[in-house]
Amino acid sequence: MSCELPEDPCLEQIATVTVTFNPDTNVLASQLSALPRACPKFIVDNASEPGVTESVAELAARTPNTTLLRNRKNYGLAAALNLGALTVHREAPSVRFVLLLDQDSEPLAGSIAALVSAFEALENSGHPVGCVGPLLIDAKTNQQHGFHQATRWRWRRLFPAPYTGLPVRCTNLNGSGTLVSIDVFLKLGGFDEELFIDHVDTAWAFRVLAAGYELWGTPKAVFKHRMGTSSLRFWMCGWRIWPVRSAARHYYLFRNAILLMRRPAVPRVWKFWAAPKLVLTALLHGLFDPNRREQLRQMRRGLADGLRTRDVRR
């Protein structure tokens, strides 16, 4: 006789989509074990190395209600999220929400139910909710990433105490841990696949806002999260987290930042603060990164390609 407690009924409304590319399968296993047992779970693998793909397949096979979707090549984060969400819509039509996940995020106890509860409470209060996201805690440094808010000329982060307080209205949400309604996803046409990986969530957030919906973060939902290959903790008017990324990732980061700066619908305040952040990124890696030559080369490539790329989403 099982002694397991029944899951929160609100969790019957969700499915999850996890995108993988050569994941740490131990971290992925922790994530899957933290997801609601009964909800449909979809892993979209972006052509990981053969040995890793086999491990992901074995993990999916022993995790209840989990389906593995394999891409023949790495089509990027945006395309994988779109594939996963459209598969949810086709194969689980009764599901109302999709929880979007990177391979290295782990929801802590009660956090998924807190996301759904926050979404529904905000809707019941008359808010046109597009997405709700959790408070993210860096797995290495134990520092939180904060919630993004913008005034007319200032881009800032708020750092509420975990597990407490009311939802926070946001201007952007980190993609992993975002809870989105299927209806909003379908209406907006999914994520911008041209961006491939970096700033996919940024572009999505601005489209959600432009369509008249709101973004909210709830500190009552807490996820462990890893950004980049590792993280640095430093002091700059408070403790900050700086993700350490590969040179290839910096190509997309710089290219996509330039693409977004060229889009009229992107808020000016984001453009104003994105430019010095790119300069700071180049400066830090140019001074302290042992792979500085390749890092700076990929950053220059990204800038050049961002300026000359024809942007289909203008």
* SS3 state of residue 97: strand
Predicted local distance difference test score (pLDDT) of residue 265: 85
173 φ/ψ angles, rounded to the nearest 5 degrees: -130, 140
- The beta strands (E) that lie in 91-146 are given as 97-102, 105-107, 129-138
**DSSP per residue over 206-256, as a string?**
HHHHHTT-EEEEEEEEEEEE--BSEEEEEESSSEEEEEE--HHHHHHHHHH
- Whole-number pLDDT of residue 244: 78
Report the alpha-carbon angle 101-105-109, nearest 5.
Answer: 105
pLDDT computed for residue 3 by the predictor: 37
Domain boundary assignment for the chain: 9-225, 245-308
pLDDT at 142: 85
Start-to-end Cα distance in the chain: 59
pTM: 0.92
Fold of the domain spanning 9-225: Spore Coat Polysaccharide Biosynthesis Protein SpsA; Chain A (3.90.550)
What tokens were used for 229? 């290959």
Q: Report the C-alpha gap between 98 and 100 in whole angstroms.
A: 6
* Amino acid found at 249: R
What pLDDT does 1 receive?
33
pLDDT per residue rounded down to tens, the chain (314 residues): 333 434 675 688 999 999 999 999 999 999 999 999 999 999 999 999 999 999 999 999 999 999 999 999 999 999 999 999 999 999 999 999 999 999 999 999 999 999 999 999 999 999 999 999 999 998 888 888 899 999 888 999 999 999 999 999 999 999 999 999 999 999 999 999 999 999 999 999 999 999 999 999 999 999 999 876 665 655 665 666 667 789 999 999 999 999 999 999 899 999 999 999 999 999 989 988 889 999 999 999 999 999 998 775 65
Residue 309 pLDDT: 86
List all residues 6 or more positions away from 162 whose beta carbon is below 8 Å from its beta carbon: 135, 137, 144, 219, 222
Query: What is the per-residue pLDDT for 310?
Result: 78
CA-based nearest residue to 266, from 204, 220, 219, 192: 204
Beta strands in the chain (DSSP E): 14-20, 41-45, 66-70, 97-102, 105-107, 129-138, 147-150, 155-158, 168-170, 178-181, 214-225, 230-235, 239-244
